[in-house]
Structure 1
């Protein structure tokens, strides 16, 4: 659990590192009509963090709470992600992650095994939900690298 908590704490710096030095052209580049730009990915990661931080806290505070997800494509398509301030969202991500640190640093093994339940009755422990948060950032870091590569390849082809 200790390594998981450490990686969770590094999420913000990993995202920052992934976009360091990128131009606005690269940040706004969409590799396909149904693909997200790096800018949109960062907004999504933060929106997901807002939702998941609430779920994590519910699992720690309530007995087998109902956990609700959100439709990520609907949010991306209907909330004007291109118009949102990326820096504000990155700051929000950083604040959400850092706000969880004192809770995680004092987490007991009993707490890490607390359960949350989704509407389809699928059950997850707090630890599993935290693992998903770490994996979510990793997956989107890989997606950011794919967008950067697509941008470079697109620029070379002209």
Structure 2
């Protein structure tokens, strides 16, 4: 799990590296009307992190807590992602990830196996939820690269 914790901790730097040197035009470019810009992706990643940090803590603190997801498209469409401050959101992402580090460094093997339950009765261990957080950032980093490529191809 050491590698997962390390990659989880480096999520902020990975996002920063992915957008380094991009212009505002590149950050706001949407490859299609129904696709997200890099700016929107970054806001989404942070909103997801807010929700997920609470889920991770619930699983560690409560006995088999109920876990709730959020409708990412509704959030993106109804919360004015284009109007939100990307820098504030990136800093918030960094703070959320940093705040989890002392917890992650002191987990027992039993805590890794603690479980949360979604409304459909799907059960996830803390370990599975943390791995998903790492994979979520990986997936959006790949999405950012696709948007960058689409921007270059359309210029």
TM-score over 0.5 (shorter chain): yes
Distance 1:116 1:5 in 2: 19
- Verify: 1:74 aligned to 2:66, yes or no: no
Deviation at 1:81, TM superposition (A): 0.1
Partner of residue 84, structure 2: 84
Q: Which runs of 5+ in 1 are unaligned?
A: none
Deviation at 1:93, TM superposition (A): 0.1
Deviation at 1:7, TM superposition (A): 0.4
Write out per-residue CA displacement over residues 23-49 of structure 1, whole angstroms, 9 at most, x where no aligned residue: 000000000010000000000000000
RMSD over equivalenced CA pairs, Å? 0.2
Distance 1:65 1:145 in 2: 36
* Alignment coverage as a number of residue pairs: 155
Partner of residue 111, structure 2: 111
Distance 1:5 1:49 in 2: 15
Distance 1:18 1:107 in 2: 30
Task: Give the structure-2-normalised TM-score.
Answer: 1.00
Task: Give the structure-1-normalised TM-score.
Answer: 0.98
Alignment of 1:53-68 (within 5 A): 53-68=53-68
Alignment of 1:19-98 (within 5 A): 19-98=19-98
Q: Which runs of 5+ in 2 are unaligned?
A: none
Deviation at 1:150, TM superposition (A): 0.0
Write out per-residue CA displacement over residues 46-94 of structure 1, whole angstroms, 9 at most, x where no aligned residue: 0000000000000000000000000000000000000000000000000
